[in-house]
Amino acid sequence: MTIDRQRIGKLGELEACRRLIDAGYSIKETNWRSRRGELDIIATIGDKLVFFEVRTRGAVSVGRFGSAAESVDYRKQQQVRAIAQTYMQYTKQQDAPIRFDVITILIGADDVIHEYRHYEAAF
């Protein structure tokens, strides 16, 4: 992963956290890692535990690799579910109600957010 992609990804995750907090979510973890991979954001709203997959694209890359939402394919969904299960076991929250959301962000060359979409219960 190039430094620019890392920077864009980090900007997207920070923006997602900011907007989620403004919307009433409580952020529990960011970039939580296990041997299976990483969960971008874990938050709660009410009694629900929500796992977020954040996909950020620079405006230059739009159209070259499909939309950000399209990149969360079946394989990625299965991976996120498996990591979430590990997290729930690790934190002893196996019985918590859960949801999987996707956030897509488009960032311009000037680091300005051009588009932000939050897909609740995406998978």
Q: pLDDT tens across 60-103, in order?
A: 655 555 566 767 899 999 999 999 999 999 999 999 999 999 99
The domain containing residue 26 runs over which residues?
3-119
**Token pair for 67:** 């939309």
- What local confidence, expressed as pLDDT, does residue 50 receive? 98
Which residues does 38 contact at the CB level (< 8 Å), separation at least 6?
A: 31, 32, 83
More confidently predicted of 61 and 118: 118
Polymer length in residues for the chain: 123
**Domain CATH for 67:** 3.40.1350.10
Share of residues in the chain with pLDDT > 90 (%): 77
Q: Which residues of 6-26 are buried (b: 16+ CB within 10 A; e: fewer)?
A: eebbebbbebbbeebeeeebe
Local confidence band at 5 (pLDDT 50, 70, 90 cut-offs): confident
Total of domains in the chain: 1
